[in-house]
Structure 1
């Protein structure tokens, strides 16, 4: 597959991100390696659905931008599954609705699939802070809190356990083998910022296809907006707690060995090094050093608390999510 067709799926849900959505689509259309199509999947918002349909119809689109309604329950997983089922490409890429892709984003994704064993390729996500710069207390090791690539991931094109969902691509046959994104595990319109749906899918994929290779190529870059409320410690605490809850669901489904494999290295090597750097900066009177060290410790403790509570809930209630099979038909089900 030297030159695979790529469909891009962007899941949207609110008119508050109108300009961001248009910018995301424009960045896909400006790719050096063109996408076959861009699918905007609207999550149970009739007003936004009608507005986007009108926007791209009036713009004289030739069919390369398609606007669809989420055909499943409210939430990001069902929206992505709707996009997969409606798409035609051999590769399906996902872009956040508040992000823009650099010009060679899809080019680098496509290169990764030259090896037929590769089932997924992710990229690097850089934050665009609403205030104009990173808060001095916010540790780079926790950039996953705001949906971005975090310090501790190896550079270059490397093999990983899972890709990060807002900047990722999958071979279509990956969904044939493992099914779609699990509903009931990630964001579903609830105010609590849950996640891990792509982690669970990737682990399930490598179980179904033990020979599968999953990559991150840090040349496939997108820039992701971080709104002002997410620059505050209150959101940091809420998001890390929700991550613990989500990780408990994943571990319950796939086992703690796989479910927490990457997290063990992260908590035993990456985070202690981050605390040490923060304390060193504090001793050298550099801004934010003590805050970063404290935030790392607080993030670990909050995530651990969420994991413990989530584990108890999972044992009492069993699996709280379900795996969706993606229908055949390449667009016929949309």
Structure 2
């Protein structure tokens, strides 16, 4: 896919109305799935959208190159648009397939193992009324397999695809939304060319960053617009037992470091690391102090290890590049 440069010239900013009001009926919701192992999660995710207190305009289920799952989903939801991904294998290609079929003025993305609160559609739509808005992200709450692991720092909940300590607690501008609960105006997606297929998750890999790269590109193309975090637009994201482990924690941190290099290659390394600098200098020192006085001394160690492994992944990828 050929993507526009992020070095935007404001004089050439596309002329789009980023203040147009949005209603829940204007939302096209895209849920992408790739494995039968998360079938029950997918059913719950779809049902949570169907059960919204204010109905969305369109719900699209995109199956990422799994013919058996595609047939099963079409049999389960004959009245819904269940699509086979027409892109390359991976989340970016599946999301682009959903965008191409979306008819709403806003395209919202929900993970197949996340369930939306009953007022999610209304809260998301309302956030678009807060000035010139490119896209909106919401709060992603982890649903642990049992109790939260005592060693797992809340500042690292991004490891399991959830909102982490350090994010704004009230509506505020951010660089990018978390992929499990994000949305953008359809006109913006059309203008910037969709997701970059060279970055992001394929299957069960620990790579990421496709939403970060897209939002960076969108903000560069529309410098007068904002990406907003609306914590009141909430989803619950299931954490599998395999992800609540030290092994996954380390793998995901390393994968995130490597992903930042690819995001930086497509946009700029300054943009790719802008939020991370504040995170490292403000959020993590406080996390380390909390970890040191925690009842579980492993929490402090997790902060140090998580940061070190992420940096190692980043440096290794930079050297390879």
TM-score, structure 2 as length reference: 0.91
Q: CA RMSD of the aligned region, Å?
A: 1.1
Q: Which runs of 5+ in 2 are unaligned?
A: 1-19
| Matching of residue 25 in structure 1 with residue 46 in structure 2 | yes
Shift of 1:115: 4.1
Which residue number in structure 1 is paired with residue 217 of structure 2?
204
Question: How many Å separate the matches in 2 of 1:254 and 1:311?
Answer: 15
| Matching of residue 177 in structure 1 with residue 198 in structure 2 | no
Matched-pair contact (CA < 8 Å) for 1:10–1:95 = yes
User: 1:65-144 to 2 correspondence within 5 Å?
Assistant: 65-115=80-130, 117-130=132-145, 132-144=146-158
Shift of 1:313: 2.3
Deviations 1:112-167 (A, max 9, x none): 1124610100000011111x211000000000000000000011111001111110
Which residue number in structure 2 is paired with residue 303 of structure 1?
310
| Matching of residue 186 in structure 1 with residue 200 in structure 2 | yes
Shift of 1:56: 1.1
The match for 1:155 among 148, 152, 169 is 169
Matched-pair contact (CA < 8 Å) for 1:204–1:254 = yes
| Matching of residue 257 in structure 1 with residue 270 in structure 2 | yes
Deviations 1:266-318 (A, max 9, x none): 0111001100111122xxxx2x2x1111001000010001000111222xxxx
Matched-pair contact (CA < 8 Å) for 1:192–1:238 = no
**SS state at 2:77 partner:** helix
Question: How many Å separate the matches in 1 of 2:151 and 2:32?
Answer: 31
Shift of 1:206: 1.0
Q: Which runs of 5+ in 1 are unaligned?
A: 315-334
Shift of 1:37: 1.3
**SS state at 1:143 partner:** helix
Shift of 1:252: 2.1
The match for 1:9 among 30, 33, 39 is 30
Shift of 1:257: 1.6
> How many residues align structurally?
300
**SS state at 1:168 partner:** strand
Matched-pair contact (CA < 8 Å) for 1:9–1:40 = yes
Which residue number in structure 2 is paired with residue 330 of structure 1?
none
